[in-house]
Structure 1
Amino acid sequence: MRTDFAATPKTAIVIGAGVVGHCTALALQRSGFATTLIAPAGIVATASLGNAGHIATEQVEPLASPAAVRGAWKRLFRNGGALALPLRDIATWLPFVIRLVRASRPARFAAGRVALSALLERAMPAWRRVLADAGAHDLLIEAGHIVVWESAATAAAGLARWRAAETGTTRFVELSAAECAAVAASVAVPIAGGIRFTGSGQVADLAALQAALAARFKGLGGVRIDRRVAAIRVVGRRACVFLEDGSRMPADRIVVAAGAASGELLTPLGLRVPMIAERGYHLHGAADGVGLPPVVFEDRSVIVTRFRNGMRVAGIVEFGRRDTPPDPAKWRRLQEHAVALGLPMEGATRWIGARPTLPDYLPAIGRAGVADNLLYAFGHQHLGLTLAAVTGELVAALARGAEPRVDPAPFDLARFGSDGLGRR
């Protein structure tokens, strides 16, 4: 352990109020830090609220993989798939794609799978602890999820892929004919095959989750400031936060957990953050409360989730800039899937948000080498909700100078090297 980081800390600042930021702030407050959470007020387009609500403990294989690179062409949006590479943003996504291809080499993929597995095997227990402490254990539904296919050919191929994949602490069984018929009865397409996972889960209400975490943080004495952080500056190996009005906020520990905006704070300090805004879209409509577990329609690359407050159809992987206007064609594609599935999406609300994604599809969790009091926790791509609770616990251990339960080395930003391309 680094002794220069082991001075007795008393105060902490967390930048970012998404689910990772809230879990981190809560873990720090419970660890004895007087913690301040800083984020602009009124942000609603975060991935924390727009995701599918799926606790995806089965996704131990990083999406930066040899198989993903080989099959990217047929998954392009223009070919009917869910992967969008907008020409208008080519200057943003082309360097990222080059880095992704480098990160997909077999040795790096294998190492990433080991690292991700170590986090994911602790994800569900961490959520149980956090929600029990917050008095909101009912928000976690541990009923697994379902993956289905609509043709015999895709069912055979999909089942073979999952049988060859590592799924961590989850397990799955093939759906019987009767179970396929039961799923088919709720949609307007035939179900030729499917599998049911156990060990994964769902959050019943994402807004209620955020409210529960915020209430517990406040109840423990935590403070939130609704302001924008203008910059982090380092003097004499000590980082300090500067707000948009120029005011200065020092702390014994500062954690950058600002999702897709994290790079804007860390890059000026000389850190390599080769992150992209991997934008996702959803439609959310009225429906009965939670009934079926999340259902992945793998042929369509969409997931359908029933929440307490309605039904959501989510999908699309769009590489680009955070500030690029939404593409209505993406919502139209989701609407077409909803109509084909016979789902009640008339009058559905539309959402777009940016997943913070690094080229190797591992999060960035660790200590920043430029300052003794600066840490970071972001870049969780599709697993932000899944890994938020365990990330908070890991960061709190690092902030105390304690030995963490998970080796943080694979998640250090230093893995990207001096050029951000992943060269060692």
Structure 2
Amino acid sequence: MSHVGVVGAGVVGLSSALALLDAGHMVTLFDDDEGAQAPSWGNAGHIAAEQVAPLASFDTVRSVPSRLFCTGGALALPPAQIARWLPFSTRLLLASTPSRFARGRDAMRSLLAEAVPAWRALVDRIGAPALLRDEGHYVAWYDAVAARKGTAAWQAADTGTASPRPASAEELLRLGALGKKPLAGALRFSGTAQVADLDSLRRSLVEAFLAKGGVLRRGKAAIERQADRVQVIGHPTDQVLVCAGVHSRVLLEGIGHKLPMIAERGYHVRADAAYWPEDLPPIAFEERAMIVTRYRECVQAASFVEFASPDAPADPRKWERLERHIAELGLPITGPFRRWMGARPTLPDYLPAIGRSSRIGNLFYACGHQHLGLTLAPITARIVTALVDGATPPVPVEAFDIDRFA
């Protein structure tokens, strides 16, 4: 049995810390996000098993002009942040070649195939099976041309273990009744899922971790390298796992690893859930690049990809546009709105970094999960636990090695 220090208590860190405890390790978890502002606790709640194709692709590159925020889209490249997003964009372009895209897609297919089963096991482990709603999700369109193109694109896409089907007439009527006008089309996905409530998930994971004997330390953790080992300063442990989201870059580069990570910032607004049906799974309104999720006590609309410093001031225009989308569609979401912005940790090939350091014997990492941190947290936890134990991971991890950026 070893003592593992886990730096970062988002959903990846908490899931990993719990899995390590279950494997017999002592675990100290370092959490500098007592206010729960990390993207782990503000995302769309969607277990996105369908997102097999990496966003680093020539299709994505070609779509950039039509997706820019200044033209009505969801992609924001703030001029003041060009020193951050231009080098990242260059790396993304290099990672978008057909061969690299194909390798990334194959690696993600294997990883995502285990996402929903790993989630089922995790919620059972913490005694909260109702936290996982295994009911799929919808993608919807109001314009007929957009519906035809979108449906064809999704039906031709590699969606792994998830599968779309055209929504029934009854489903279309019900979804259309949410807004001012009927829908032109929708797809119902099976094989995906939803976390019923992110606040309850966080509480349940922390309670399970502490009940198992884990130690929780509040405040920032710093790590230092000593020859071929690392330590959390002031807290000696045998192994160190870094899963600190966007802050992983500073931690890992400070001890010699290269990690070209950017903060991909997303925005949401939340309101009282009184008028949104409790039994509806998440709905992605694709023309607005917006996903609406009902949680236990609120309904949330989320959108935007904004490349910037994680600490840059939020852009109120993003929240205003979300609220305008809600009003223009006539959705039954009424203010006052609670606004949030969080920074997803994204690498230029849109693959996570999961593995054991080739340079520092007791260092492990699990970060860079971009939009899929919630989706991949439990399977990532199984992988890092196997690596710490010196066992074979449940899925191949060579594609996620941090040395691909050396």
Give the TM-score band, short-chain normalised.
over 0.9
- Name the structure 2 match of 1:194: 186
Q: Please state how far the C-alpha of 1:190 moved relative to its aligned partner.
A: 2.7
Q: Please state how far the C-alpha of 1:340 moved relative to its aligned partner.
A: 1.4
Is residue 278 from structure 1 mapped to residue 264 from structure 2 by the alignment?
Answer: yes
CA contact (8 A) 1:283 1:345 kept: no
**What SS class does the counterpart of residue 229 from structure 1 fall into?**
coil
Matches within 5 A, 1:36-185: 36-185=28-177
**Aligned pairs, number:** 403
Alpha-carbon distance in structure 1 between the residues aligned to 2:210 and 2:329: 43
- Name the structure 2 match of 1:6: none
Alpha-carbon distance in structure 1 between the residues aligned to 2:181 and 2:55: 28
- Name the structure 2 match of 1:296: 284
Is residue 307 from structure 1 mapped to residue 271 from structure 2 by the alignment?
Answer: no
- Name the structure 2 match of 1:253: 239
The letter for the 2-side match of 1:400 is: D
Q: Please state how far the C-alpha of 1:163 moved relative to its aligned partner.
A: 1.5
**What SS class does the counterpart of residue 92 from structure 2 fall into?**
helix
CA contact (8 A) 1:52 1:303 kept: yes
Alpha-carbon distance in structure 2 between the residues aligned to 1:83 and 1:71: 10
**What SS class does the counterpart of residue 53 from structure 2 fall into?**
coil
The letter for the 2-side match of 1:276 is: I
Is residue 319 from structure 1 mapped to residue 271 from structure 2 by the alignment?
Answer: no
**RMSD over aligned Cα atoms:** 1.0
Is residue 238 from structure 1 mapped to residue 190 from structure 2 by the alignment?
Answer: no
Counting aligned pairs with the same residue, the percent is 49
Q: Please state how far the C-alpha of 1:179 moved relative to its aligned partner.
A: 2.0
Q: Please state how far the C-alpha of 1:332 moved relative to its aligned partner.
A: 0.7
Q: Please state how far the C-alpha of 1:368 moved relative to its aligned partner.
A: 1.5
Alpha-carbon distance in structure 1 between the residues aligned to 2:153 and 2:364: 38
- Name the structure 2 match of 1:364: 353
CA contact (8 A) 2:155 2:164 kept: no
| Residue deviations 1:374-393 (CA, integer Å, cap 9, x gap) | 00001100000000000001
Alpha-carbon distance in structure 1 between the residues aligned to 2:93 and 2:33: 37
Where do 5+ consecutive residues of structure 1 fail to align? Answer: 1-8, 243-247, 418-424
CA contact (8 A) 1:284 1:345 kept: no
Alpha-carbon distance in structure 2 between the residues aligned to 1:199 and 1:217: 28
Alpha-carbon distance in structure 1 between the residues aligned to 2:346 and 2:394: 24
- Name the structure 1 match of 2:368: 379
Match for 1:210 among 202, 205, 211? 202
The letter for the 1-side match of 2:229 is: R
The letter for the 1-side match of 2:224 is: R
Alpha-carbon distance in structure 1 between the residues aligned to 2:67 and 2:151: 18
| Residue deviations 1:79-122 (CA, integer Å, cap 9, x gap) | 11000000010000000000111111111111000111111000
**What SS class does the counterpart of residue 329 from structure 1 fall into?**
helix
| Residue deviations 1:312-362 (CA, integer Å, cap 9, x gap) | 000000001001100001011101111112232311100000000000111
CA contact (8 A) 1:239 1:250 kept: no
- Name the structure 1 match of 2:215: 223
The letter for the 2-side match of 1:274 is: P
Where do 5+ consecutive residues of structure 2 fail to align? Answer: none
TM-score, normalised by the number of residues in structure 1:
0.93
CA contact (8 A) 1:145 1:293 kept: yes
Distance 1:198 1:328, change over 3 A: same
Alpha-carbon distance in structure 1 between the residues aligned to 2:278 and 2:39: 21
Match for 1:391 among 376, 380, 387? 380
Q: Please state how far the C-alpha of 1:41 moved relative to its aligned partner.
A: 5.0
Alpha-carbon distance in structure 2 between the residues aligned to 1:157 and 1:192: 12
CA contact (8 A) 1:364 1:377 kept: yes
Alpha-carbon distance in structure 2 between the residues aligned to 1:276 and 1:66: 20
Alpha-carbon distance in structure 2 between the residues aligned to 1:411 and 1:290: 38
| Residue deviations 1:140-189 (CA, integer Å, cap 9, x gap) | 00000000111110001101111210000011111133321211011223
- Name the structure 2 match of 1:416: 405
Distance 1:43 1:368, change over 3 A: farther
- Name the structure 1 match of 2:337: 348
Match for 1:331 among 300, 316, 319? 319
The letter for the 2-side match of 1:279 is: R
TM-score, normalised by the number of residues in structure 2:
0.97
Alpha-carbon distance in structure 2 between the residues aligned to 1:255 and 1:118: 23
- Name the structure 2 match of 1:11: 3
CA contact (8 A) 2:9 2:33 kept: no
Alpha-carbon distance in structure 2 between the residues aligned to 1:92 and 1:187: 39
The letter for the 2-side match of 1:69 is: V
The letter for the 1-side match of 2:29 is: L
CA contact (8 A) 1:335 1:345 kept: no
CA contact (8 A) 1:14 1:257 kept: yes
Alpha-carbon distance in structure 2 between the residues aligned to 1:123 and 1:197: 15
